[in-house]
Amino acid sequence: MNEVSHPGAVLDFAASPIRHYLDHGGTPMVAIQISEAGGPEMLVPITVALPEPGPGQLRVKVAATGLNFVEVYHRKGLYGLPFPLTPGGEFAGTVDALGPGVMGFSVGDRVATVAGLAGYAEFALVASERAITLPTSLSFDQAAALLLQGMTAHYLSFSTFPLAKGHTALVHAGAGGVGLLLTQIAKRRGARVISTVSTAEKAQLARDAGADDVILYTQTDFATEVERLVGKRGVDVVYDSVGKTTFEKGLGLLRPRGMMVLFGQASGAVAPFDPQVLSQGGSLFLTRPTLGSYTQTREELLGRAGDLFGWVSDGSLHLRIDRKFPLAEAGAAQAYLESRESKGKILLIP
C-alpha cells in the first residue's frame, strides 16, 4: 500500500509523495503524529493527506474521538507498535467515503467504532464490520464517550464474571470512565459495589453512580476497609484497572474461588508472581481480559452496543463526559488522563 493511502501512516507534509498528492488535487487534513516513544509532548499535530478507504473500509469524518489508556501505552512504546504512528481506535462521526465491496453503509451514515485506525485525526478509517450505526437518540459525543468503556463494563459484568444478586464486587478507580459505568451496570445486575477513589469529589460521583460503599484510598488503607465491610468472607470479584499498586492487596481480599479481573495497569505493570499464590488464596481465578476477545463476532459487538444504546436512551445509564480538548491539544489531553484526575470520559474534538 502506498504512503498516501496507508491508514496508520503519519506523513511529513513537505515530503515529496504528499506534496505531489496535494499539488494534484488531493485533500489535506490534520492528524496527530507520535514520532518516537516519550511523554505527552510527543503528540504533535501535522498536516497529512486524506486517507483513502481500502476494500471493506469506511472513511469517517470524525466528530469526536475518545481517549483511552491504551493510547498512553502506545505512546510510551509499551506494545511495540512502529513509529511514527497516529493513535486512536474509538471515534464517532459521519461516513464520508466507501471502499470497494462495502455493503450495509452509505455516505452520510452516523457511525462509531472502538476498532478504528488513526482516530486522532480529522478523518479516519474503519473496517465496515467493526463500525456501528448510531441511533438518532445518541450524539457523536455520547457515542465516543460510551462505546469502549461501556462495552468494557458490559463484558466485565455480564461475561468475565457474570454478576448477580448476592455478589460483592470491588471496583478500583470507581470514578473513572469505566468505573462509573461498571458500577451502574453492576447495580443493574443486583450486586453490591465497593468503590475505591482518590478524592471526596470522586467519592460523591461513585455514590451517585450507585456504589454501596466508597473508600478514599488516599486516606484509608483500602484492604483494611474492605475487610471491615465484608468480614472474613471476602469479595467475589475485584475489577482492577490500576495494576501495580492495588493488585497484591486485591488478591488477598477475594473469597475462595473468587476472581481477580485485571483489565488495566494505570499505576504500572503487575510484577511476575508464583501461580501458587492463587492456590494459597483459595483456588482463586485470575484473568487479563481485553475487549477484542469479548466482541469477536459482529453479533456480539452489536449486542453489547445495543444494550448500551438502549440504556442511555431510556435514561437508566448515565454518561459523564469530563473534558473535551481540541485535537491539536492531544498531548494535554493525555497528560490529564495520566494524572488520574479525570472524572469521566475525555474527548478530542477535531
* CATH code of the domain containing 214: 3.40.50.720
Residue 308 lies in a domain: no
Does the pLDDT of residue 309 top 50, yes or no? yes
Does any domain span residue 10?
no
CATH of the domain at 76: 3.90.180.10
Asked whether residue 4 carries a pLDDT value surpassing 50, the answer given is no
pLDDT in tens, 218-231: 999 999 999 999 99
Question: CA-CA distances (angstroms) from residue 220 to 199, 208, 216, 248?
Answer: 11, 21, 6, 17
The whole-number pLDDT of residue 19 equals 52
Q: Which residue has the cell 437508566?
A: 316
Q: Average pLDDT of 105-129?
A: 98
112 with 223, same domain: the answer is no
- State the Cα–Cα distance between residues 63 and 122, nearest whole angstrom: 8
Are 29 and 101 members of one domain?
yes
Domain that holds residue 128: 16-134+320-349
The reply to whether 303 falls in a domain is no
What confidence tens digit (pLDDT) does each residue in 277-302 have? 999 999 999 999 999 999 999 999 99
In a domain, 9, yes or no: no
In this prediction, residue 341 has a pLDDT band, given cuts at 50, 70 and 90, of confident
- 95: closest CA among 82, 87, 105? 105
Considering the domain architecture, whether residues 23 and 128 belong to the same structural domain is answered as yes
Class of residue 60 by CB neighbours under 10 A (exposed 0-12, middle 13-18, buried 19+): buried
How many independent structural domains does the chain possess? 2
Judge if 125 and 163 occupy the same domain: no
